[in-house]
Structure 1
Amino acid sequence: MIAYFVMEVGLEGQMATYSGGLGVLAGDTLMSFADLGVPVVAVTLLYRGGYLQQRIGPRGEQIEYEQRWYQRKFLKKLDLKVEVPFSDRVQKATCWEYTPGLGDSLRIFFLDADLPENYPEIRNLNQRLYWANGIYRLRQEILLGIGGYRLLKALGYEPQVYHMNESHSALLLVELLKELKDEEKVRRRCLFTTHTPVPVGHDRFPVNMVKEELKSYDHMNWDREVEDGHINLSKLAVKYSGYVNAVSLKHMYVSREIFPEREDIDYVTNGVHHVRWIHEELKGLFNYYIPGWNSNPMLLQQVHFIPSHLLYEKHERIKGQLINLVNKQTDASFSSDVLTIGIARRITPYKRNDLILMDINRLIEIAESCEGIQLVFAGKSHPRDEGGKGIIKNIIEASHYVKSRTKRLKIAFIENYDIDTAKILVSGCDVWLNTPKRPYEACGTSGMKAGMNGVLNFSTWDGWWLEGGIEGINGWGIGPKPSWQDNTPSDDLQDMKDLYNKLQYNIVPTYYTKREEWVKLMKNSIATIGPFFNSHRMVNEYISKIHINLLR
């Protein structure tokens, strides 16, 4: 039995229990666990107000609202309570179970401390996801790690492996150390997956705050774990986990620099749930020409047997759905016969979401030299990320600027990016643009979803694309291609110039004048990305490479 702990999980678009990539990846992972019949129990937190409902104001400002949702439509409350310590007070937590179900081998629980008998500040922990730092965040992580550990005990589970996704659940180690009284025994039960090379992704709390909130755990010598006056939960997870893995080969080398005390950090490259993300129109085509692809994604290599005109016709129908979405939500007036590029993901400075707008006049020139270019942006910025909010404003301002100067370049921004919107975007665009600053993209998964749908990737050589991209065969890279060990940051100006040159001299001419070659690239994309960058392969790697070794 594997216990899978994660701060957020994206199972359905209308369940406001995720913010973005980490949660959606968790959902994909659990779906593959279920499909493959792996016995797993998953633990996360319930958020009544979700992450954020996004609206864009007239001047491009992001306006945030609560994501109120009806949890009883998806979850059933269990008649069970566990005690969770917060400083001198013992509080109670109950849980909800995901009821639509994914199979007999998987159960998913959402912890909830919003109970009448609890103090208001504890009840508030289940209101918003990633909304505050400091004591609020620490208490959320106590609820997840310690509360989650005690929940599984109360339900009668005895997991052989505790899989911690990011360090948000690392405090379950405190309970394990108390129970097993042996650091090596703890290590033989724990796997830590780190998902980010960005410092903000590694939670740190003042040591005195940790000591105060966990004062009942007198077996912990927190002074032994302190770093610059703080407890770094990622460092704690690295220290007490028998196995630590990054989420791409490149990220492994980056992580070994972040955690030099663990030269043995391994990697399992992320994947996405292919059945979830391949569009229904394509599923029908695959069912006819590639029977069995849904249970065995390796068969997607046979996509070349599908007649090219049928694949292109299906893509055009899917693209029509995207065009309708854009024109319904914006005044961009997109057309179905124009090259459409998607840029959709969390909006934050290191992802450089607006790199393609860096020289807007050059972009206008490229669009004027052909039948046109359409850019569709989507993504949320964290409420406290002023840099990310600035990017959104820049995108909106650019859309106004180009509207007054040309009809050949159109820019749209889709509000409130979520799972349901993503399914249309990753399948309906012609090109999927990803421009993170190297080496800060741990993996990235949106391009995998796009690639499985025959959408061509145009991406910085970082994360998964450094493994999966084949220049001019299944997409295009941006900037110089680094060696695995080269962790020097990329140059914005250099990447911008390469982006514009490849857009003008490779992508645009191929799309508009070489239809057969474009469809061949689409087939190459499906055949090279679908069979490997799926969560079935990922889960099998976790089991064969890590879980079994921990159990030996």
Structure 2
Amino acid sequence: MIAYFAMEIGLEDRIPTYSGGLGTLAGDTLYAYADIGIPAVGITLLYKKGYVSQKITPSGMQLDFDTPWDYKKILKPTNLQLQISFGELVQEFTAWEYSIIGREEIKVFFLDASLPNNHPEIRKLNDRLYYDDGILRLRQEILLGIGGYRLLKALGYNISVYHINESHSAFLVVELIKELGSKEEVRKKCVFTTHTPVPAGHDKFPVDMVKQELKSYDHIDWDKEAEEGFINLSKLSLNYSGKVNAVSYKHMFVSSNLFPECSVFSEGYCKMDYVTNGVYHKRWIHREIQELFNEYIPGWDENPILLGQAYYIPSELLLKAHMRIKSDLVNLVNKLTDSSFSDDVFTICVARRVTAYKRNNLILSDIERLKYIAEHNGDMQIIFAGKAHPKDTFGKEMIADIIHKSKKLKEMTKSIKVAFLENYSIEMAKLLVAGCDVWLNNPRRPYEACGTSGMKAGMNGVLNFSTWDGWWLEGGIEGINGWGIGPKPKWDDLSESNDKEDLEDIYGKLAHIILPMFYRRKDEWVRMMKNSIATIGPYFNTYRMAYEYLGKIYQIGLR
């Protein structure tokens, strides 16, 4: 049995307790495990106010609101009450249950310490996802790791492998050491997946704060675990895991540099491996495209490697299906904004979390140049969507810049229309990844650990236009299933992107390759759509990913 721990698990929009890629990947993973029949259980936290509800003011400011939801109607109570300590406070917690039904029924448990008799500060732990990075976050992670471990014990689960996703649940090793007696024994049961090279993904806390909150655990010398006065949870996870993996081949080299004690070149117990992410194809391929697959590629849903046979689909039917989806997307944009989009205009989508390294607004850097390209090569529509974290000032400034530039473009030309859609979500993403013509992803290299949104787009026949980083370095074939942005680096090249160089590539390829093909060589365009499905679908799915975890990573506890 695999215990899959994650701070956020994106299962459906009715459960708004996810913020982005990590959460949707966790959901996709557990759906695939259920289908394949991998015995697993998911552990996460209940956030009664969700992540964040986004409202953009006319000036472009993002306002943040709670997202309350009726969890009692969606989740089932376990009626368990267990104890957990935070410093001197002995508190109680319970859990709520969600079931994923497949060949295997997988239960996802949402831990809840917001009980009436608990201390008010402890009840706050279940307010909101990523609400704080101080003692509240530390306590959330104690609840996730230690509380999750205790819940599984109380429910009688026999866990072979504890899968720590990002380092948020690292404190589960505290309980394992107490049970198993040594670091070596703990390593036989723990695996750690690092999902990002960005510092925000690697929580660390002052050692004195950790000692205070975990004072009832005197079997760990926290001073020995500390570095420069801090407990780094990623380092803690590395130290107590028998297998450690990155989420793409490129990310393995980036992570090796970040954690030299566990690099791909290491000869010790800990050697960095990789399993490239995938997406749950049944969730992300649009129903219109699914109907075509059912007719021309029967069996694709149970055996996604068959998506390599996308060439059997008649071109005119694939294009018509795409245009029906695009029409739905255009109708949504026009319903939610005053952008006046049209079905027949080339449409780019930029939809993801809004934060500095993702450079969400890069394409709008030179709107005079963009105007010239559109007026001389064909009209463009650009859809932006994504939330900035409430405390990410730079991310919020990027949203304001997008809104400001879109207004200026509206005054300057009729050839470019820009829309920003509020409250990017799983359901909205399902339409965006299938309805646009090009999926633009231009993060600053080498900070895109993997990226999965482009995989979703590619399986729907939408063409990728992406920085050569993460999964695209493995899956992208220039001019065949999409286009790259900037130089294509060697695997161990950790140099950063140059904004000007990447922008020149974006503008140059739009003007000379992408727009001319879209408007004047539609047969070539549809051929690339088929290439996209055939090259991306068979490999970049969670079925393949799940089998790789079984073979490469979970083997430590399944021997």
Q: Which amino acid aligns with 1:117?
A: N
The answer for the alignment partner of 2:509 in structure 1 is 502
Q: Which amino acid aligns with 1:114?
A: S
Alignment of 1:254-293 (within 5 A): 254-263=254-263, 264-293=271-300
Pairing 1:448–2:455 present: yes
Pairing 1:356–2:349 present: no
* Distance in 1 (alpha carbons) for counterparts of 2:101 and 2:110: 14
1:117, distance to aligned residue in structure 2 (A): 1.3
* Distance in 2 (alpha carbons) for counterparts of 1:308 and 1:451: 16
The answer for the alignment partner of 1:98 in structure 2 is 98
* Distance in 1 (alpha carbons) for counterparts of 2:60 and 2:228: 39
For the 8 Å contact 2:34–2:100, the answer to whether it is kept is: no
1:182, distance to aligned residue in structure 2 (A): 1.3
Q: Which amino acid aligns with 1:355?
A: L
Q: Which amino acid aligns with 2:457?
A: A
* Distance in 1 (alpha carbons) for counterparts of 2:133 and 2:396: 19
For the 8 Å contact 1:188–1:551, the answer to whether it is kept is: no
The answer for the alignment partner of 1:55 in structure 2 is 55
Match of 2:346 among 317, 339, 344: 339
The answer for the alignment partner of 1:420 in structure 2 is 427
Q: Which amino acid aligns with 1:81?
A: Q
1:306, distance to aligned residue in structure 2 (A): 0.6
1:72, distance to aligned residue in structure 2 (A): 2.2
For the 8 Å contact 2:377–2:511, the answer to whether it is kept is: no
1:524, distance to aligned residue in structure 2 (A): 0.2
Alignment of 1:10-409 (within 5 A): 10-99=10-99, 101-102=101-102, 104-263=104-263, 264-409=271-416
Matched positions, count: 552
* Distance in 2 (alpha carbons) for counterparts of 1:331 and 1:73: 36
* Distance in 2 (alpha carbons) for counterparts of 1:406 and 1:68: 41
Q: Which amino acid aligns with 1:539?
A: A
* Distance in 2 (alpha carbons) for counterparts of 1:163 and 1:294: 27
Pairing 1:432–2:439 present: yes
Q: Which amino acid aligns with 1:25?
A: L
- What SS is found at the alignment partner of 2:223? helix
- What SS is found at the alignment partner of 2:377? coil
1:274, distance to aligned residue in structure 2 (A): 0.3
- What SS is found at the alignment partner of 1:169? coil
Match of 1:551 among 532, 554, 558: 558
- What SS is found at the alignment partner of 1:141? helix
* Distance in 2 (alpha carbons) for counterparts of 1:167 and 1:232: 9
For the 8 Å contact 1:74–1:99, the answer to whether it is kept is: no
* Distance in 1 (alpha carbons) for counterparts of 2:382 and 2:41: 41
1:343, distance to aligned residue in structure 2 (A): 0.2
1:101, distance to aligned residue in structure 2 (A): 4.2
1:371, distance to aligned residue in structure 2 (A): 3.1
1:103, distance to aligned residue in structure 2 (A): 5.4
> Which deviates more from structure 2 when the two are superposed, residues 363-372 or residues 495-504?
363-372
For the 8 Å contact 2:304–2:537, the answer to whether it is kept is: yes
For the 8 Å contact 2:76–2:96, the answer to whether it is kept is: yes
* Distance in 2 (alpha carbons) for counterparts of 1:104 and 1:358: 49
Q: Which amino acid aligns with 2:261?
A: E
- What SS is found at the alignment partner of 1:424? helix
- What SS is found at the alignment partner of 1:195? coil
1:228, distance to aligned residue in structure 2 (A): 1.6
* Distance in 1 (alpha carbons) for counterparts of 2:82 and 2:530: 52
The answer for the alignment partner of 2:518 in structure 1 is 511
Q: Which amino acid aligns with 1:424?
A: L
- 1:13-51 CA-partner distances (Å, limit 9, x unpaired): 121111111000000000000000110011100000000
Q: Percent identity?
A: 63
For the 8 Å contact 2:5–2:165, the answer to whether it is kept is: yes
- 1:230-271 CA-partner distances (Å, limit 9, x unpaired): 100000000110000000000000000110001210000000
* Distance in 2 (alpha carbons) for counterparts of 1:210 and 1:101: 38
* Distance in 2 (alpha carbons) for counterparts of 1:200 and 1:301: 37
* Distance in 2 (alpha carbons) for counterparts of 1:520 and 1:549: 44
* Distance in 2 (alpha carbons) for counterparts of 1:379 and 1:499: 21
Instruction: Kindly report the root-mean-square deviation, in angstroms, between the aligned alpha carbons of the 2 structures.
Output: 0.8
For the 8 Å contact 2:93–2:113, the answer to whether it is kept is: yes
* Distance in 1 (alpha carbons) for counterparts of 2:512 and 2:229: 53
The answer for the alignment partner of 1:491 in structure 2 is 498
- Normalising by structure 1, report the TM-score: 0.99
- 1:301-333 CA-partner distances (Å, limit 9, x unpaired): 011011000000000000001000100000110
Q: Which amino acid aligns with 2:465?
A: F
Gaps of 5+ in 2: 264-270
* Distance in 2 (alpha carbons) for counterparts of 1:440 and 1:368: 34
- What SS is found at the alignment partner of 2:290? helix
For the 8 Å contact 1:38–1:105, the answer to whether it is kept is: no
For the 8 Å contact 2:38–2:104, the answer to whether it is kept is: no
* Distance in 1 (alpha carbons) for counterparts of 2:494 and 2:104: 43
1:100, distance to aligned residue in structure 2 (A): 6.3
Judging changes above 3 Å, is the alpha-carbon distance between structure 1 residues 546 and 313 closer, same or farther for their aligned structure 2 residues?
same
1:70, distance to aligned residue in structure 2 (A): 1.2
Judging changes above 3 Å, is the alpha-carbon distance between structure 1 residues 549 and 216 closer, same or farther for their aligned structure 2 residues?
closer
- Normalising by structure 2, report the TM-score: 0.98
Match of 1:535 among 534, 542, 547: 542
* Distance in 1 (alpha carbons) for counterparts of 2:492 and 2:283: 34
Q: Which amino acid aligns with 1:148?
A: G
1:53, distance to aligned residue in structure 2 (A): 0.4
- What SS is found at the alignment partner of 1:162? strand
- 1:420-464 CA-partner distances (Å, limit 9, x unpaired): 100010000000000000000000000000000000000000000
- 1:67-91 CA-partner distances (Å, limit 9, x unpaired): 1111123201111011111001211
Q: Which amino acid aligns with 1:268?
A: V
- What SS is found at the alignment partner of 1:117? coil
Q: Which amino acid aligns with 2:225?
A: E
For the 8 Å contact 2:34–2:101, the answer to whether it is kept is: no
- What SS is found at the alignment partner of 1:298? helix
* Distance in 2 (alpha carbons) for counterparts of 1:531 and 1:337: 30
1:366, distance to aligned residue in structure 2 (A): 0.6
- What SS is found at the alignment partner of 2:554? helix
Match of 1:481 among 488, 491, 499: 488
Q: Which amino acid aligns with 2:455?
A: M
- What SS is found at the alignment partner of 1:538? helix
> Which deviates more from structure 2 when the two are superposed, residues 525-534 or residues 67-76?
67-76
* Distance in 2 (alpha carbons) for counterparts of 1:349 and 1:543: 35
- What SS is found at the alignment partner of 1:261? helix
1:550, distance to aligned residue in structure 2 (A): 3.8
